[in-house]
Amino acid sequence: MSLLKERLHDIEKNGYQLDFGNVFNHAFENYKKIALYAGLVLFVFSVLFGLFAIGTLISFWGIDLITEKLNPENLKSENLSGSSFLIYSSAILVVSCLLAPFQAGFLKMADCGDKDEEFHISTLFSYYQLPYLKEIIVSTFLITSISFLQAITLSHLKLDLLGNFISNFISFLTILTIPLIIFGNLNAIEAIKYSIAIVLKKPFVLLGLIIVAIIGAMVGFIGCCIGVFFTLPFFYSMNYAIYSAIVGIDSQDKIEETNFVL
């Protein structure tokens, strides 16, 4: 059994210690190392991705049809036809799965910053390769599908608030899934399982840290909205700091690639 698996089994059995202040300080110090570079990359990528998406939609439907389809009222689940609903849900799943490895790259950047190692744009694309790519996509597909299906079901029952709450709760429970895949070399199912087990051991402390991370990430909306690109990396730094405090990054260096669970 690998050191990581031993650590995870110990967490399941005995729990773990987590100091709010230490994790926050770790996240903030890490954020200061990656904020500028990560923010610039996020800004450039968002602009390019937005232009690409708009250009693609215009080429397929035209401006008038896009304006009509993207009307918030028309995007409500109860107003979508069968074909429109299928296209809408499929688009969300595809985009989520394609961007998940890119988002995982920010955790890799946080790891490099923590170890005072150089990082580049290529760092953000580190996980568009096997075996990580498959496991990241599978885990993202499963989590997004479950969250999306329950939200749609409850929306049809006029329980939108409950659906939103459950979606956020699912995201909270699975917050450590991607770190467990990229730093722990776990497969998608195991990563989801252990993420849920870890979060449920100390849900209130972790919830407090996540809320602080979200508030910190959203501070950029104050004054000039462009600032959010430079505050959003704080969320990734917090995610990294939480994983580091609970599971530990050191185990990654001691796990051979041949031990990856397929």
Q: Is residue 138 part of a domain?
A: yes
Q: How far apart are CA 11 and CA 5, in angstroms?
A: 10
Q: How far apart are CA 34 and CA 212, in angstroms?
A: 18
CB 206 within 8 A of CB 199: yes
Cα 89 off chain centre by? 18
pLDDT in tens, 157-175: 888 889 889 999 999 999 9
Query: DSSP code of 121?
Result: G
Report pLDDT for 255: 46
Q: Is residue 262 part of a domain?
A: no
Q: Is residue 184 part of a domain?
A: yes
Q: Is residue 117 part of a domain?
A: yes
Q: Is residue 42 part of a domain?
A: yes
Dihedral sign (CA 155, 157, 158, 161): negative
Instruction: Specify the 3-state DSSP secondary structure of 77.
Output: helix
Burial class of residue 59, CB neighbours in 10 A (0-12, 13-18, 19+)? exposed
Q: How far apart are CA 135 and CA 184, in angstroms?
A: 12
Number of domains the chain contains: 1
What letter represents residue 48's amino acid?
A: L
pLDDT in tens, 70-107: 555 555 555 554 555 667 777 788 888 999 999 999 99
CB 198 within 8 A of CB 184: no
Give DSSP secondary structure letters for 159-173: -HHHHHHHHHHHHHH
Instruction: Specify the 3-state DSSP secondary structure of 18.
Output: coil
Q: Is residue 37 part of a domain?
A: yes
pLDDT in tens, 35-63: 888 888 888 888 887 787 777 767 766 66
145-175 burial by CB neighbour count: b if 16+ within 10 A, else e?
A: eebbeebbebbeeeeeeebeebbeebebbbb
Query: DSSP code of 176?
Result: T
Nearest to 234 by CA among 32, 4, 3, 15: 32
Indicate the pTM of the whole model. 0.84
For the chain, the maximum distance between any two Cα atoms, rounded to a whole number of angstroms, is 59
Find the distance separating the first CA and the last CA of the chain, reported in whole Å.
15
pLDDT in tens, 126-159: 899 988 999 999 999 999 999 988 888 887 788 8
Q: Is residue 205 part of a domain?
A: yes
Residues in the chain: 262
Report pLDDT for 5: 84
- Mean of the per-residue pLDDT values of the chain: 83
Q: Is residue 215 part of a domain?
A: yes
- Residue 74 domain boundaries: 3-247
**Those residues with Cβ within 8 angstroms of residue 125's Cβ, 6 or more apart along the chain or in another chain:** 101, 102, 105
Report pLDDT for 253: 47
